[in-house]
Amino acid sequence: SAPHIKARCTVYLGSDKQRFPVPDDKVSWATLWPEYSPVNYTAPSVLKKPAWADPDIGSFSPRFNSLDGSVDRRSHEGDYSIQDGRPLNPRGRTGLNGRGLLGRWGPNHAADPIVTRWKQDSTGKRVSHAVSKRPVLQFVSIKRKDCGEWAIPGGMVDPGELVSQTLQREFSEEALNSFQACPEERKKIYERISKLFSSPGFQVYKGYVDDPRNTDNSWMETVAVNFHDELGDSVSELPLQAGDDAGQVSWCDVDSSQPLYASHSHFLQIVAEERHAHW
Ligand code: RP5
Ligand code: MG
Ligand code: MG
């Protein structure tokens, strides 16, 4: 796999901490590098001990590489190593240790719902791309409040939660604003989307995410699943409304030139190829 890039971005998200610069040829832990001196940072929001975060190492020794009560500390990438009581990022150095903005030591599990439809013109005809001649897919995208980047409306898997539940819940919260809806509205949203989300979907990706929040000891992993509205008559009709950590929500064309958060562009490329769509 290619060396992570966003996990080495200079300024750490939401802080003024600068990562120790890690060149491509020094990313791997297998490369000896005695001069390596990463910056230590765990965000104040994590040190405050919210329910979603682990305590600091020392006072606490979790069962790494196992299902630890209801917290899944196993990695989709296989067993990870532990050094001085801390898990090591399976993709190598990031220039920063501690947990940064992430709550868990080791893998932080997320799920990414990729909801797609075919782009149509005003008469309902499918739109093909002028250059590739392939039909254009659209996906529901949100603009993240934390960094301003466009992204898939994904989120963290709660302890004990099934990935299938996280996919539907995060989509409802971030793209349909189910949080703010009154009970009747929420029920309507639930009924309209549970059909789409009860289909198996196409599993696009499962594993490490090159997320800007990753550190040497904490990192994002995800299961990305594509739910496709082939006829444009199910979820396409839903009124999108940004909620929770989303500032905006919109149907966006699936296209290689659209910059997206973390490794999300890579996931959309897989969807486009699978559906023989423009990329
Ligand atoms: C990314 O962070 C995942 O791919 C997922 O989209 C997201 C989950 O984190 P939050 O949206 O909950 O911050 O690595
Ligand atoms: Mg969320
Ligand atoms: Mg989210």
Element (H, E) at 184: helix 183-198
What pLDDT digit, counting tens, does each position of 63-98 carry? 999 999 999 999 999 999 999 999 999 999 999 999
pLDDT of residue 107: 98
Name the 3-class secondary structure at 240: coil
Residue 6 has pLDDT above 80, yes or no: yes
- Of 15-19, 120-124, 208-212, 237-241, give the lowest mean pLDDT range: 237-241
Tens digits of residue pLDDT in 160-203: 999 999 999 999 999 998 878 888 888 887 888 888 898 889 99
Question: Which CATH code for domain 110-274?
Answer: 3.90.79.10
One-letter amino acid for residue 105 of the chain: W
For residue 145, report the distance from its CA to the centre of ligand 3, in Å.
9
The Å distance, Cα 29 to ligand 3 centre, comes to 30
pLDDT of residue 277: 98
Specify the 3-state DSSP secondary structure of 25.
Answer: helix
Give the span between the Cα atoms of 196 and 229, in whole angstroms.
8
Apex 250 CA angle, 233 and 100, nearest 5 = 130
Q: Please list, residue by residue across 119-129, b when 16 or more beta carbons sit within 10 angstroms of its beta carbon and e when fewer do.
A: beeeeeeeeee
- pLDDT at res. 58: 83
| CA 111 to ligand 1: nearest atom | 5
* CB-based neighbours (< 5 A) of ligand 3, an ion: 155, 245
Q: Establish whether residue 222 lines the binding site of ligand 1, counting it when its CB lies within 6 angstroms of any ligand atom.
A: yes
Domain ranges of the chain: 110-274
Give distance in angstroms: CA of 154 to centre of ligand 1: 5
Q: Identify which of 170, 108, 118 has the alpha carbon closest to the alpha carbon of residue 144.
A: 170
Write the CB contacts of 111 (distance below 8 Å, at least 6 apart in sequence).
154, 155, 157, 163, 166, 167, 170, 222, 223, 224, 225
Residue with tokens 């300024």: 11
Whose structure tokens read 């699978």? 274
How far apart, in whole angstroms, are the C-alpha atoms of residue 279 and residue 64?
39
Distance 153 CA to ligand 1 centre (A): 8
The candidate with the shortest Cα–Cα distance to 153, out of 179, 118, 129, 128, is 179
Instruction: Please give the pLDDT value at position 236.
Output: 80
Top-confidence residue, 2 or 115 = 115
From the alpha carbon of 146, which atom of ligand 1 is closest? Answer: 13
Tokens of 99: 């947990």
- Judged on CB neighbours under 10 Å (0-12, 13-18, 19+), 38 is middle
